[in-house]
Structure 1
Amino acid sequence: MMLHRFGTPSHRLERVMGKVAVALGIHGEFLYTPTALVISLRDSSGEEMTVIRRVDSGPVNVDKLIRFDELLSRVERRETSVDAAMEEMKQIEQAKALYGPPVYIVACAVACAAVAVFFSGTPWEIALAGLVGALVAGIELLYEHWGLELGLLELLAGVVAATSSLLVACYVVPIDHRLVTLAGLIILIPGLRLTVALTELAVGHLSAGVARLSGALVSLATLFVGAILVWRLLDRFQPQLGPRLPVASDWQWVALAVAPIAFAIVFRAGWRQWPIIGLVSVLGVVVSWATGPRYGIEVASFLGALSVGCGSNLYARIRDIPALVALTPGMLILVPGSLGYRSLSALSQQQTVEAVQYGFEMIVIASSLVGGLIVSNVIISPKRIL
């Protein structure tokens, strides 16, 4: 349950638990989905017990994943008793977050500003995307602290991001408020969940894949509903978009250098993991940028994911830690979540052809990313399952 809660994909989690059960001399059958856990255990006497639990998959927490993986390794080698392991698991689960709220908010702001650079934003749009990202991160932390209704976060974040961007565009400085809204919401856009869902479907985990895919699409739609409510209610505000002077293309390299570290903090990765996360992320993006103009976005996405997967698996084999440590932040920059948002935005403006094109491109890129990850596991298999 704890590995699931801190971002482990279902197909990897089932294999981990099966391996631990074998090490303990227990026959186990496991079925995980993003909202349900079914465990069937049978001991040497033939007595069988089945447990069903309602669980929620949470955001990726790299630090706790590493600690859980180390603990499971000791259990597997019979270096720790089951009772001691259960107590240590509780301590890991209840441990304080690796980074406090101020650091998390700053990291989200930097990540959103970097994404605005990738979107060819102007200096004002980049700065405002960072401010909107910080505001959305603050809302997310308050939402978790107050324990508000499930599903409300995306709607509230969409409303706040769209309102603040539109008002700034009307009364402060002429900007592309839709670009700022998209960049400011990038932390909550479920592009990574979409890619994980397609991966689970590709490896035959249909129940988890369909559930996660549905959840990702609903989250994306809820984010967009929050934004479009503002655009419709405030349609009398028609900001005039002045001359746009995007920052120089060299700034994309600066954004590429800082974005992986920001995402590493968002995923609660320790500072010792920052260099490999940065290296793997930059490698994937550079490969994608280098091959895209000649071979197309599909091949570029495949090769980018292949590079990220091979780099993460190689590091995992050398350091004997989960490949997810470098894989998850590295993939986040490549995932096509923004295309889904743009598809819905185009539909709201009755631009059906563009909407279909964006949606199709999102599915194609996500599928290419999945293919690259699967092939990377064949070329360099990770030492451990996670």
Structure 2
Amino acid sequence: MSMITGAFRPIRESVARLAARFGRPTDGGEALDSALHPEEYGAREDIQLLDYTQDGRSQGDSYQSKLQNNMVSEAHQMVRKLGIAENMPEDANRAEDRDLGHRRNVSQSSVSTVDTLEDSPSSSAQPQKRRKQKWYKDDEGDRSKSKRSSKQLKLTKHIAAILTRHRYIMQLSRAMMKYGAPTHRLEEYMRMTANVLEIQAQFMYLPGCMIISFDDPLTRTAEVKMISVAQGLDLGRLAETHNIYKSVLHDRISVEQAIGDLNQLMERKSRYHTAWSLMFLSGLASVAVGPWAFNARPIDMPVIFVFGCLLGFMQNVLAPASPVYSNVFEVSVAVLMSFLARAFGSIQVNGNPVFCFSALTQSSIALILPGFSVLCSSLELQSHQIIAGSIRLVFTIIYSLFLGYGITVGITIYGLLDGNATTESSCPAASLSIYGNEYIQHFVFVAIYCAIAGILNQAKWKQLPVLVFLGVSGYVANYFSQKLDGRLASTISAFTIGLLANLYSRLWHGHAAAAIIPGMFTLVSSGLATSGSIMSGLAYAEAVKHNTINNGRYSAASVQRSLFGLGYSMVQTALGITVGLFLSALVVYPRGKKRSGLFNL
């Protein structure tokens, strides 16, 4: 390695001298780079409580003692800065006593550890035992200063308990956004948590951001926190987060224990966290989606697997390594996949194409379709969350336009390079008889796809049977309803999945939101396949190749249809899914869930 670097050293030196002659600045300039997400430079102060200990004396203590030290230290600082302990009226003390003695166990360990100050020495002759120094004492240990007023002690306990609950609410919000909780119900979950913990707070959700305002009626102040999280999807940890959320609401665990559980959950690595395992799973998912969604044949599956692995490499290796490349990831994937798919689709033997061009193209990019995003946006709009739903819907439409533009560019570039490029926009129906049965081609591969999609999204093994059952049930309803009325197919299938998922949640106490997502993926892919909009770029590619773009047949309207077709079809499918999901929730939960909220899509 040293020999290689030594050989290139004269070249680098000569290039540096030449650049200096042309007036190159010595300090680096600012490039047109993309901004980093706050999580990438460590803006996670609400989940890094262990680093807040002021000294090393409590390193061997339990997590709850460290949390107590941190909360009480902040409470001491707030009391000293505000200076309100001496002027606090007696009725406020009684209100605090009622608050500290409420029936919930929300901050039991931090409150129960505090004993009231011992009374002043009385005239009784009975000797008093020397008590052990409590955790709320000052670090100096000056016993002359430890006899503070009872008002200040009560206020310190009150503030320490409130700060602990604030930490829990912030951390719960981060976990729910990070692991894919239903976005149209996030504010509802947070409001219910704040009401049960007796915290006055207001919440506003934006895509990737939760704004929390903690109000303090005693000091007439408010504290605003903004939790910024890159939205993700982890079905296994989503179920565990919901278990912690419900345990706190039903008074089964304390807030301190919930904070510790959430910390361990966030610090734990994913089951399939290596890039190579994600690449392999991406290839398998692309193969499984091909037969039932895009009529892929067995001969197409090896090529689709290679394309899926290439997509997984670009998504899990290249995009995280370069923030600049992540901005053009979708377009580059669409261009490359459509280019390679048309190249393989143009291979002919005895005048017949060997591979199906449309199946290769659509199957290779099925995993990056914004189906889940457009579904969340339509659910938010249906729930009257106008700001979050509008922002996400605009992003989804632009994202779909990027994909449509990339597919059109890739098809056009290969058409200019190869004069015999294929123009077939569908697979030959006769070649699909190799499956022997139409139901085997569709239903069996749907079950395989739901299982792989669940594994790819970090689902637990015990969740897979329910995921597969719901996904197959929804697709069966979609398959037969397409023959009756294609416009209602998405609504009927979504109603079927939602009804089964809500019954699973109500009767079996399962997690409907985690179990329903792979089934939603099947409906989005089915809607895309029936619309056929992703292949509309072929006409534009042929017009560019033959220089007939200005003719009436290839007008500007056809070009716009080739770009807008993908976004329109996905929005149309998502709207039908939204109506079906809300109808299913209305049937199973006509009055909703007043205690913990509906945890479903």
Normalized against structure 2, the TM-score is what?
A: 0.59
Give the corresponding residue for 2:43: none
Residue by residue over 1:106-138, the C-alpha shift from the partner in whole angstroms, topping out at 9 and shown as x without a partner, is 332232222221212232223322321122112
Amino acid in the other structure paired with 2:518: P
Task: Give the 3-state SS of the residue equivalent to 2:223 in structure 1.
Answer: strand
Single out whichever of 319-328 and 309-318 deviates more from structure 2.
319-328
Q: Is the 8 A contact 1:136 1:160 kept in 2?
A: no
Between 264-273 and 236-245, the greater mean CA deviation after superposition: 236-245
Counterpart AA for 1:192? F
Alignment of 1:333-352 (within 5 A): 333-335=522-524, 338=528, 342-343=532-533, 345-346=535-536, 349-350=539-540, 352=557
> Secondary structure of 1:31's partner?
strand
Cα pair distance change 1:53/1:359, threshold 3 Å: closer
Aligned residue runs from structure 1 range 80-159, under 5 A: 80-101=253-274, 102-118=276-292, 119-143=294-318, 145-149=320-324, 150-159=326-335
Partner Cα distance (1:137, 1:44) in 2: 51
Percent identity between the two aligned chains: 21
Q: Please report how far the alpha carbon of residue 65 of structure 1 lies from its aligned counterpart in structure 2 after TM superposition.
A: 0.6
Alpha-carbon displacement from aligned partner over 1:311-330 (angstroms, at most 9, x marks no partner): 11111223434311111111
Paired residue type of 2:302: A
Counterparts in 2 of 1:1-386, with a 5 A limit? 1-43=174-216, 45=218, 46-58=220-232, 60-101=233-274, 102-118=276-292, 119-143=294-318, 145-149=320-324, 150-170=326-346, 174-234=354-414, 235-237=416-418, 238-240=420-422, 244=428, 245-246=431-432, 247-248=434-435, 249=438, 250-294=440-484, 296-335=485-524, 338=528, 342-343=532-533, 345-346=535-536, 349-350=539-540, 352=557, 361-381=569-589, 384-386=597-599
Ranges in structure 1 where 5+ consecutive residues have no aligned partner = none
CA displacement 1:329-369 (0-9 Å, x = unmatched)? 11110025736995364256347577577765544332111
Q: Highest CA radius of gyration, 1 or 2?
A: 2
Give the Cα separation in 1 of the matches to 2:399 and 2:176: 22
Q: CA deviation at 1:275?
A: 0.6
Aligned residue for 1:335, secondary structure, equals helix
- The alpha-carbon deviation at position 62 of structure 1 amounts to 0.5
Q: 1:358 to 1:233 in 2, by over 3 A?
A: closer
SS in 2 for 1:187: helix
Q: What SS does the corresponding residue of 2:523 show, helix, strand or coil?
A: coil
Q: Aligned equivalents of 1:138 and 1:17: distance in 2?
A: 37
The 3 A distance-change label for structure 1 pair 181 and 327 is: same
Offset of 1:44 from its aligned partner?
5.3
Contact kept? 1:155, 1:225, Cα under 8 Å: yes
SS in 2 for 1:349: helix
- Whether the 8 Å CA contact 2:531–2:569 is kept in 1: the answer is no
SS in 1 for 2:384: coil
**Where does residue 117 of structure 2 map in the other structure?**
none
- State the shift of 1:81 in Å: 3.8
**Runs of 5+ consecutive residues of structure 2 not aligned to the other structure:** 1-173, 541-553
Please tell me whether the aligned partners of residues 248 and 258 of structure 2 are also in contact (alpha carbons under 8 angstroms). yes
- State the TM-score, normalizing by the size of structure 1: 0.89
CA deviation after TM superposition for structure 1 residue 73, in Å = 1.9
Distance 2:322 2:530 in 1: 28
3-state DSSP of counterpart to 1:97: coil
Task: Sort the Cα spacing of 1:218 and 1:97 in 2 relative to 1 into closer, same or farther, 3 A.
Answer: same
Deviation at 1:268, TM superposition (A): 1.2
**Contact 2:331-2:402 at 8 Å conserved across structures:** yes
Which residue type is aligned with residue 578 of structure 2? V
| Cα distance change on mapping 1:84 and 1:340 into 2, 3 Å | farther
Q: Answer with 189-198 or 235-244: which moved more.
A: 235-244
Give the partner amino acid of 1:111: A
3-state SS of the aligned residue for 1:50?
strand
Q: 2: distance between equivalents of 1:44 and 1:69?
A: 30
Distance 1:162 1:364, change over 3 A: closer
Q: Helix, strand or coil: the match of 1:334?
A: helix
Q: Which amino acid aligns with 2:394?
A: S
Change (3 A) 1:340 1:228: farther
Q: How many residues align?
A: 384
Aligned partners of 1:174 and 1:239 also within 8 Å? no
Q: Using the alignment, how far apart are the partners of 2:565 and 2:344 within structure 1?
A: 30
Q: Deviations over 1:127-183 (max 9, x none)?
A: 322321122112211035425334332123223322332333345863233431211
Contact 1:174 1:241 in 2 (8 A): no
Taking the aligned partners of 1:144 and 1:86, their CA distance within structure 2 comes to: 32
2:367 partner SS: coil
Of 72-81 and 6-15, deviating more is: 72-81
- Deviation, structure 1 residue 16: 0.9
Distance 2:194 2:322 in 1: 34
Mean Cα deviation higher: 157-166 or 284-293: 157-166
Q: Which has the higher contact order (CA 8 A, sep 6+)?
A: 1
Please give the alpha-carbon distance, in whole angstroms, between the structure 2 residues aligned to 1:358 and 1:157.
16
Contact 1:194–1:366 (8 Å) recurs in 2: yes
Q: What is the identity, as a one-letter code, of the residue corresponding to 2:306?
A: L
